[in-house]
């Protein structure tokens, strides 16, 4: 056998004496245990009661109990002189249970008339908030606001306070948490007044990487401290400012720290005061600024744009070369260049270099050659002149054409007509002539 689960408490019901509406039997000992859900009371209303009347309900009696406490003993009927009739007034249990006992003796003189009783009961929500304070001295249910709900109640707090884990007491709200807005205002609990109790609050300002936080404390700053020759010492009360990669700073005393530039996108403030001493607290405004990158510098034979007085996070710059020069990065030519100021205050890429372009070797001339007139290593603005292997070949057209290495990396002729020189053979002109002197 295993235990059956307890039945769900009913929200309402009915109780009546055995054999009702027929007269009840003698020597009865009946009991009914009524129960409703927690947070409810039982309201018991008798629809009919007709039990043998006697003084003090000595013979037959219906007893209503709350635990061991007798709420009422009833017998008789509406018009009986003896007995105690509950009338039309309902009986309200202090809690969610009620016990009814019905006892009859062995003698029912008016047996044919005493039919017993019939009663209805229902669950009534208990207004815990209106109940008197418990006698155990634990105090009111809620320290500030009590809200009755069906079958239960809730505690709440005024603005500026928050509910403690016990769900009934309210303490001053820290106003702490994580702040990720670009700017904001923070202050200690109760500021500019001291809080009534010890507090331990944490404020975290955390913004997007690439931005730095600046704290600006107001002048009204007071955190209890012990004054020494070296300055105030924060023994029991302090505001600790922690910036990553830096030693935490403990602030106290009566002098405002003023402006603190953190150079960080994250700052944590821990405010701690105990019940000793008195601190009125602090308030600050914080703002964020884009991280700054160093001046990018210049590119020889080129230029960097745009030219700004300062370069901030997410700013882009581009580099271009002067005509006749090409962009080079790590020994490789690149078509274009831009770099961004990163969140760490460094440029994404270093500046490139501008190297002079070259046109490559000029195209060889069949049966001829190329002479460099000026310039160096086929570089921009170098000038070459073609010639033919005379006297066996000569330039077509007989025009000496020079070619210049232009910015498009092509050798371009100075002659609009001739694009490519050609050597053509010279005919009929031997290098030696038959010479005869004898006549």
Partner 1 sequence: IIGGSDAPDDTIPWQVMLSIDGGRGGGMVIGDRWIMTAAHNVMHDGNVVPNETVRIYMGLTNVNTLMNSPVYAASIHTHPLYNNPNLVDFNHDIALIKIQDPITFNSSVMPICLPAEGATYVTGTMGLVSGFGVTETDKRRILTNKMKYVQVPVVEQQACSDSITLLKKKKVLVPILTNNMFCAGVPEGGKDSCQGDSGGPYALRDDGRFWAAGIVSWGFDCGQRGTYGVYTRVINYIDWINKTMQEN
Under rule CB under 8 A, residue 336 binds partner 1: no
Interface region with partner 1, contact rule CB under 8 A, candidates 245-253, 318-326, 341-349, 427-435: 427-435
- The minimum distance between CB 368 and partner 1, in angstroms, equals 11
Q: Which residues contact 327 (CB under 8 A, 6 or more apart)?
A: 302, 319, 320, 321, 333, 334, 335, 336, 337, 352, 353, 354
Nearer to partner 1, 74 or 393 (CB): 393
Under rule CB under 8 A, residue 393 binds partner 1: yes
Interface region with partner 1, contact rule CB under 8 A, candidates 120-128, 238-246, 408-416, 429-437: 429-437
Q: For partner 1, which residue of 3, 112, 159, 429 counts as binding (CB under 8 A)?
A: 429
Strand residues in 97-252 grouped as ranges (E): 97-103, 116-125, 145-149, 152-156, 161-163, 170-172, 177-179, 183-187, 199-206, 211-217, 226-228, 231-233, 238-242, 249-251
401 and 386 Cβ atoms separated by less than 8 Å: yes
Nearer to partner 1, 310 or 390 (CB): 390
Instruction: In whole angstroms, give the CA distance from residue 203 to residue 184.
Output: 12
Interface region with partner 1, contact rule CB under 8 A, candidates 205-213, 267-275, 348-356, 425-433: 425-433
Instruction: In whole angstroms, give the CA distance from residue 130 to residue 148.
Output: 9
Under rule CB under 8 A, residue 428 binds partner 1: yes
Under rule CB under 8 A, residue 365 binds partner 1: no
Residue 218, both tokens = 């107001």
Nearer to partner 1, 159 or 429 (CB): 429
411 and 362 Cβ atoms separated by less than 8 Å: yes
- The minimum distance between CB 412 and partner 1, in angstroms, equals 28
27 and 104 Cβ atoms separated by less than 8 Å: yes
Nearer to partner 1, 106 or 430 (CB): 430
- The minimum distance between CB 370 and partner 1, in angstroms, equals 18
Instruction: In whole angstroms, give the CA distance from residue 97 to residue 40.
Output: 9
Q: For partner 1, which residue of 143, 214, 367, 422 counts as binding (CB under 8 A)?
A: 367
* Residues of the shown chain interacting with partner 1 in the complex, contacts defined by CB under 8 A: 367, 392-393, 425-434
């Amino acid at each position: 056998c295993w235990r059956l689960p307890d039945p769900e408490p009913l929200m309402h019901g009915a109780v009546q004496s055995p054999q009702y509406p027929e007269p009840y039997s003698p020597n009865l000992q009946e009991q009914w245990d009524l129960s409703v859900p927690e947070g409810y009371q039982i309201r018991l209303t008798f629809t009919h009661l007709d039990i043998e009347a006697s003084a003090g309900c000595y013979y037959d009696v219906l007893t209503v109990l709350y635990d061991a406490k007798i709420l009422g003993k009833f017998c008789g009927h509406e018009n009986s002189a003896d007995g105690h009739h509950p009338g039309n007034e309902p009986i309200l249990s202090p809690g969610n249970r009620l016990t009814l006992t019905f006892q009859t003796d062995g003698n029912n003189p008016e047996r044919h008339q005493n039919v017993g009783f019939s009663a209805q009961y229902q669950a009534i929500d208990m207004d815990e908030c209106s109940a008197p304070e418990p006698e155990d001295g634990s105090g009111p249910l809620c320290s500030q606001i009590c809200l009755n709900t069906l079958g239960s109640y809730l505690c709440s707090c005024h603005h500026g306070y928050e509910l403690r884990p016990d769900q009934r007491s309210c303490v001053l709200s820290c106003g702490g948490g994580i702040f990720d807005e670009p700017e904001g205002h923070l202050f200690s609990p109760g500021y500019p007044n001291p809080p009534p109790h010890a507090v331990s609050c944490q404020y975290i300002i955390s913004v997007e990487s690439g931005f730095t936080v600046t704290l600006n404390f107001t002048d009204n700053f007071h955190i209890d401290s012990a004054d020494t020759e070296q300055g105030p010492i924060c023994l029991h009360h302090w505001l600790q400012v922690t910036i990553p990669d830096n030693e935490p700073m403990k602030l106290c005393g009566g002098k405002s720290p003023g402006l603190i530039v953190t150079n960080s996108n994250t700052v944590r403030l821990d405010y701690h005061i105990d019940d000793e001493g008195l601190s009125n607290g602090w308030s600050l405004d914080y703002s964020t600024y884009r991280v700054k990158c160093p001046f990018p510098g210049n590119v020889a034979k080129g230029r960097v744009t745009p030219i700004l007085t300062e370069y901030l996070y997410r700013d882009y710059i581009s580099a271009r070369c002067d005509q006749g020069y090409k962009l080079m990065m790590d020994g490789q030519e690149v078509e274009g260049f831009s770099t961004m100021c990163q969140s760490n205050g460094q440029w994404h890429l270093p500046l490139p270099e501008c190297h002079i372009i070259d046109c490559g070797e000029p195209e060889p001339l069949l049966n001829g050659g190329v002479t460099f007139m000026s310039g160096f290593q086929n570089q921009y603005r170098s000038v070459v002149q073609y010639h033919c292997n005379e006297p066996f070949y000569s330039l077509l057209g007989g025009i000496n054409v020079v070619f210049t290495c232009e910015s498009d990396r092509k050798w371009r002729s100075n002659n609009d007509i001739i694009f490519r020189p050609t050597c053509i053979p010279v005919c009929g002109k031997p290098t030696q002539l038959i010479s005869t002197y004898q006549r």
